[in-house]
A and B are shown apart, each in its own frame.
Chain A
C-alpha cells in the first residue's frame, strides 16, 4: 500500500508569505506527527494529532505555525508570515497506534526555502 505522502516536495517562499504544507498519512493510522528538520540536525517535534484532536502542540516554535487535521486523516501545516529561519525540511509521520508507541512511518518531507 501507499506510504505517507507530502506535498509539495519543494516550496520556495518570499519572506512574509504564507505557506501550507500537506500530509497524507497511511490510511487508518490514528496518530500523526509533524517535525522540523534543519540542515545537519535531527528532526525536531512540532505537534501531534490523535485522529482529529491535536493533543500536543508544544513544539510549534511560534504562533505563526498552525496545524490541523479536521477529519482525522489529511493534515496541513500552515506557516504565516514566513521568516528565513523557517527554512527547513518539514516531515510528517503517521502511526497506527493511538499513542507514541510503535513504529512511525515518515513521509519524504517538504523542503521549504524562505528567501
Chain B
C-alpha cells in the first residue's frame, strides 16, 4: 500500500517560493504521483501529476528524484489565495479494481500564506 507522509502544516510569506515534500517509500513501478489542492468548503482540485524527473505547468512544478521515494511540489511566489490544504497521492493510473489502495489522500499539508 503506497501511502504517503507529508508535513502537517507550513507557513510562508507572500511572494516566497514554497516547497512541500511528500514521502512515499513504498511506491510501485507503475505508480504516478499526483497533487491536489483543497480550499475550505470545496472539493479538491488537481494541481499536477508526474512519474519521474520534473513536471511543470502554469501553476506549479513537481520534482521527483531518481529513486521516486519522495516528491516535492513547488509553488512559485505564493499569494494569500494559495492558503489551502495540499494532498499528495500515489497510485497506479492504469489499474482498476483496487481503488482503496490507489486513491489515498492522507491528511495533507495545510499551507498558510502570511501577508
Q: Which residues of A contact B (CB under 8 A)?
A: 4, 33, 35, 40-45, 47-48, 50, 55-56, 58-59, 91-93, 97, 99-109
Q: How far is the CA of A50 from the CA of B95 in the complex (A)?
A: 12
Q: How far is the CA of A56 from the CA of B99 in the complex (A)?
A: 6
Interface-located stretch among B17-25, B64-72, B76-84, B85-93:
B85-93
Interface of B is mostly: loop
Among A35, A41, A59, A101: residue with most chain B CB under 10 A: A101
In this complex, the interface size class of chain B, counting residues with CB under 8 Å from chain A, is 20 to 34
Q: Interface code B11-52, partner A: CB below 8 Å = 1, 0 otherwise?
A: 000000000000000000000100000000111111001000
Q: Which B residues touch A45, using CB under 8 A?
A: 99-100, 103-104
Q: How far is the CA of A69 from the CA of B108 in the complex (A)?
A: 30
Q: Which residues of B contact A (CB under 8 A)?
A: 32, 41-46, 49, 85, 87, 91-100, 102-108
Q: Which A residues touch B46, using CB under 8 A?
A: 103-105
Given the known interface contacts A40-B107, A42-B106, A108-B43, the answer about A55 and B97 at a Cβ–Cβ threshold of 8 Å is yes
Q: How far is the CA of A106 from the CA of B41 in the complex (A)?
A: 12
Q: Which of B41, B93, B97, B103 contacts A108 (CB 8 A)?
A: B41
- Is there an interface contact between B92 and A4, defined as CB atoms closer than 8 Å? no
- Is there an interface contact between A100 and B99, defined as CB atoms closer than 8 Å? yes
Q: Which of A40, A56, A91, A93 contacts B96 (CB 8 A)?
A: A56
Q: How far is the CA of A59 from the CA of B45 in the complex (A)?
A: 21
Among B46, B49, B97, B99: residue with most chain A CB under 10 A: B99
A42 vs chain B, min Cβ distance (A):
3
B40 vs chain A, min Cβ distance (A):
11
Q: How far is the CA of A109 from the CA of B105 in the complex (A)?
A: 16
14 A-B residue pairs with CB within 8 Å: A35-B105, A43-B105, A45-B104, A48-B96, A55-B97, A56-B98, A58-B99, A99-B96, A100-B96, A100-B102, A101-B94, A106-B43, A106-B45, A109-B42
Q: Which B residues touch A56, using CB under 8 A?
A: 96-100
